[in-house]
Structure 1
Amino acid sequence: MSATSPLAGRRIVVSAGPTFEDIDPVRFIGNRSSGKMGFAIAGAAAQRGAEVVLVAGPVSLPTPAGVGRINVRSAAQMHATVLGALPADVYIGAAAVADYTPRQMAAGKIKKQPGQDTLVLELVRTADVLADVAAHPLRPRLVVGFAAETHDVAHYARGKLVNKKVDLIAANRVGVEGSGFESDDNALVVYAADGETALGPAPKPQLADELLDLVAARLAEA
């Protein structure tokens, strides 16, 4: 299969999972991303003969066969590692990277203070991995982003496609039972400048294959 695949010999960088933004040595800000979708994409790409670099946030998933894995924790580490993995033919940003991180990590565990009913954390924006890959001098031929939204999925996905100057956005609704974060199944709508394609509902490995079919077709057109 891999010898005749359009992705054989291509270098594909995939990011997957959440990022954890440390507040103090024992607490962090995170999200519900399981990494399953990104890991499925990385594994399916390797099966097609691609050279795959998987930049993985903190998840407990086995590394797919034939995939080179780099573990990271924070959004800053994800950003540096993904850009450091360029050049590549394709970047698929399936990771749920934090938009904000604490301005400063406390050196020790933050303790409750008598009479203190609230705690204020100052958060700052993180670097935008997807947009920075799309604007990079070594920009991959195809840049694919993900958009996980709780509402107005099409609106936000199309906006992300334009604003971040990427080629494809694979969007899904989260916060509903049976799909999205932590689930084994998912459903995606893949947006491009010239249209959209619905994938699923299906198990994430099947969706990964269907998404890579779209990626291979776009590469053939480039």
Structure 2
Amino acid sequence: ASADFIATMVHGKADSLLGAVYLATSALTSVAPAMNQAMWCHPATLDNIDTLVQRGVDIIGPGDGIQACGDTGPGRMEQPELLIEQLANRFTNGKLQGKKIVITAGPTREPLDPVRYISNHSSGKMGYALTAAAIEAGADVTLITGPVNVAPPSRCKVISISSAEDMLDAAMVEAKDAHIFIATAAVADYKAVSVEAQKIKSTQKTLTLTLEKNPDILSSIASAYQQLFVVGFAAESKDVQAYAQDKLRRKNLDVIIANDISRQDIGFNSDENEVSWIDKNSSTLLSKRNKTQLARDLIEKIATACGSE
């Protein structure tokens, strides 16, 4: 929306089809401002935005950057992908209304010295897509996330962590009053026994590291909070079904979602995935699809499985 049309909305003018529709509708309304940075920063525009917010209009953006006129600053219309996400977040299907869900996502980082760490290739995309889908379903969502390059969905509580121990501490607190726990995070299995205070010098041809097992977040949560519906993820490179079913039993999970990380077209850093839904009685393949759609399908199955639908 231009600065001119935002002013039109504030003053209730119906001198265009769009202005008339805005005045006549009782539907939810969102506005994505798009204008020169000086126009956006002008007190008149900011006052108009405040007025629309007070009337319940959702303001998306604006973005910040180089503009068509050559100026740099706030005022750019947000990217279409972000607009779609923000608009989708305004609607809920109610399948998980009244439920608190805790979701872990992304990798963890286990420090070796002040500049180096052990980690993995997890992008966090699946966990973030599940977070957005759970919000759409009306859930109260807490996202516990390792370091990723994905913007978290709006309307959820975000807790940023680095190490596996950080994630466990946050999960134990947040799961106390939760109904569902979904563990998509790719947690590092091992950490350094001793973290060097100074940077390790690269003067030796070989380097020996002593590692110890990290705490098992999924088992800890399932054991401590038996009222939870617990969903785990298994990223395997071979014997996917067998390893996933063993993990389901050992960790006393309700469901495990298994995927084959040996495939280059799905999984880590990909926008698509193919998984198997495995519970104590059956296994169902969810064929390759966009992670956004897959997340919605999984949330629907979780809602049904835990009796929320």
TM-score by length of 2: 0.69
Report the Cα offset of residue 11 of structure 1: 0.0
Percent identity, aligned pairs only, is 40
When residues 140 and 35 of structure 1 are mapped into structure 2, their CA distance, relative to the original with a 3 A threshold, is farther
Unaligned runs of 5+ residues in structure 2 are 1-90
Which sits farther off after the overlay, 82-91 or 29-38? 82-91
Contact map agreement 2:267 2:273 (CA 8 A) in 1: yes
Find the aligned partners of 1:184 and 1:73 in 2 and give their Cα distance. 23
Specify the alignment match of 2:220 in structure 1.
132
1:158 partnered with 2:248: no
Give 1:186's match in structure 2, choosing from 267, 273, 279.
Answer: 273
Contact map agreement 2:238 2:262 (CA 8 A) in 1: no
SS of the residue corresponding to residue 135 of structure 1 reads helix
Structure with bigger helix share is 2
Contact map agreement 1:141 1:219 (CA 8 A) in 2: no
Find the aligned partners of 2:274 and 2:168 in 1 and give their Cα distance. 27
Give 2:148's match in structure 1, choosing from 37, 59, 65.
Answer: 59
Find the aligned partners of 1:140 and 1:43 in 2 and give their Cα distance. 24
Specify the alignment match of 1:169 in structure 2.
256
Report the Cα offset of residue 221 of structure 1: 7.7
CA offsets, 1:149-171, max 9 Å, x none?
11110010000000000000000
Specify the alignment match of 1:149 in structure 2.
236
Give 1:10's match in structure 2, choosing from 99, 113, 129.
Answer: 99
Specify the alignment match of 1:111 in structure 2.
201
Find the aligned partners of 1:59 and 1:112 in 2 and give their Cα distance. 28
Report the Cα offset of residue 141 of structure 1: 2.9
Higher-RCO chain (CA-CA 8 Å, sequence separation at least 6): 1
What amino acid is aligned across from residue 73 of structure 1 in structure 2? Answer: S
Contact map agreement 2:95 2:300 (CA 8 A) in 1: no
Report the Cα offset of residue 219 of structure 1: 1.3
Alignment of 1:16-31 (within 5 A): 16-31=105-120
Q: Decide which structure has the larger Cα Rg and report it.
A: 2
What amino acid is aligned across from residue 211 of structure 2 in structure 1? Answer: L
Superposition CA RMSD, Å: 1.4
Structure with bigger strand share is 1
Unaligned runs of 5+ residues in structure 1 are none
Report the Cα offset of residue 140 of structure 1: 4.3
CA offsets, 1:119-171, max 9 Å, x none?
110000000000011001x3343100000011110010000000000000000
Report the Cα offset of residue 60 of structure 1: 1.7
Specify the alignment match of 2:161 in structure 1.
72
What amino acid is aligned across from residue 82 of structure 1 in structure 2? Answer: A
How many residues align structurally? 218
Report the Cα offset of residue 47 of structure 1: 1.3
